[in-house]
Structure 1
């Protein structure tokens, strides 16, 4: 029921059940401050991420397809579009900056050096014992080498290598699972979500068709379109006077 009411509100306006005289008095203009200018342009970010971590909540302004049509047909459409896009670009850029910060943080987490293990006392004692043996064997190996007893020296070096391997195993054990987990992750460069490199194709498809990924993809694409149009306006010599006049016209109408 609520969905049907919302759809009718969008198509016919919230005052659809009011009398003709009441509607004439209350009829909205797309220029009204309570009308969502982002929705007039294309989409409202508030609608992109419902029930996700990026949910922006409901938009406080009016979304109306009828007002969007009026905006598209308005003689000052191009100037108003430039004005609205300038404001919208700031909002979209802020959203992109936020997700870029998330992506950077995620990548730093993946490549961060693994902190040195704090070993339990018994394991640390074993490491100390092995290091002492290594030191002792190195001295003896040097003495044997000076005496020309190469084969015996080689045996000591083999023993040293065995001790070093054991030390590495002891120190690596507490972080094995952490290392495996972190090195198997990647960060989505669109929405910042963590993904496993071992994900199946179905999980990958589920991600790229999800609300967050598609939402940020839409934001990035539309922001790029706005930037392109802004550059084209600069090349064409449009200096914003028309948009300024349209904005002043909006304020005049608001005061009426």
Structure 2
């Protein structure tokens, strides 16, 4: 309850004012390079602000969102921004949430794939239908030959076998259709996974429902994050993150700085986990 009240107050008063009054202005004197400051907020949009009131709500950011420091950053010179290197921190912060989203997408897609048992059942039914189809065609030809030779009794007996095979084939075809409708990508109510935010989409949805998804807050949040990551990766290509003193270490990484240099040095970053999948 206290956290919800604080979040509401932050929205009404602004995080700066709330922090200042709650800590007697202690955080109002934070420098722009202090690790308590949210560098994603300074450079662009903090991921915690993208998904409020959605299934992916990340809750309030643990870092300080200071409008004054954001203005200071926006009005700083290019050389000063390069010295701070906050855009690298922003990329790393976004990378974390993009990778997490991609893991959810992969998990959701695997849930829609056919199980080994479903594949085995499908193959058995397809083989059964093919064998019955061959039996029917051969039987009809045999009936025709027996009829021409006057072997009526034998022809009628063969015709009975053909009808039985046709009935078995119809049953197998129904079983195959039921299996396809309830398993794998064609089942699960014709579901497909959105390759941007990981939500399930139905191929049966009308344009209005699809528009609600693609223009929804969660989808747009991940879409904007991926586009921003890609844009920054191009802009920072060939640049190395600044060397910082220990007290100015990357606030978004628990690991050593060398890991960040490997990710962002030279190539300007990886793919951000944004693996393009088939869209429809």
TM-score w.r.t. structure 1 length?
0.67
Task: Tell me the residue number matched to 1:14.
Answer: 19
Match of 1:161 among 144, 165, 187: 165
* 1:52 matches 2:29: no
Name whichever of 168-177 and 24-33 sits farther off: 168-177
Q: What does 1:8-87 correspond to in 2, within 5 Å?
A: 8-10=13-15, 14-15=19-20, 27-75=29-77, 76-80=79-83, 83-87=85-89
- Which residue pairs with 2:215 in the alignment? 209
**Higher relative helix content:** 1
In 2, are the aligned partners of 1:185 and 1:195 still within 8 Å (CA)?
A: yes
Residues 1:167 and 1:205: Cα distance change in structure 2 (over 3 Å):
closer
Q: Which runs of 5+ in 1 are unaligned?
A: 118-133
* Equivalent-residue separation in structure 2 for 1:177 and 1:17 (angstroms): 58
Matched, 1:182 2:188: yes
Structure showing greater radius of gyration is: 1
Contact 2:35 2:248 in 1 (8 A): no
1:84: how far off? 2.2
3-state SS in 2 of match to 1:195: strand
1:128 is matched with: none
Q: What runs of 5+ residues in structure 2 fail to find an aligned partner?
A: 122-131, 149-154, 250-280
- State the secondary structure of the residue aligned to 1:35: coil
1:190 positional shift: 0.7
Contact 1:141 1:156 in 2 (8 A): no
Count of matched residue pairs: 222
SS at match of 2:205: coil
- C-alpha RMSD over aligned residues: 4.1
TM-score (norm 2): 0.62
What is aligned with 1:131? none
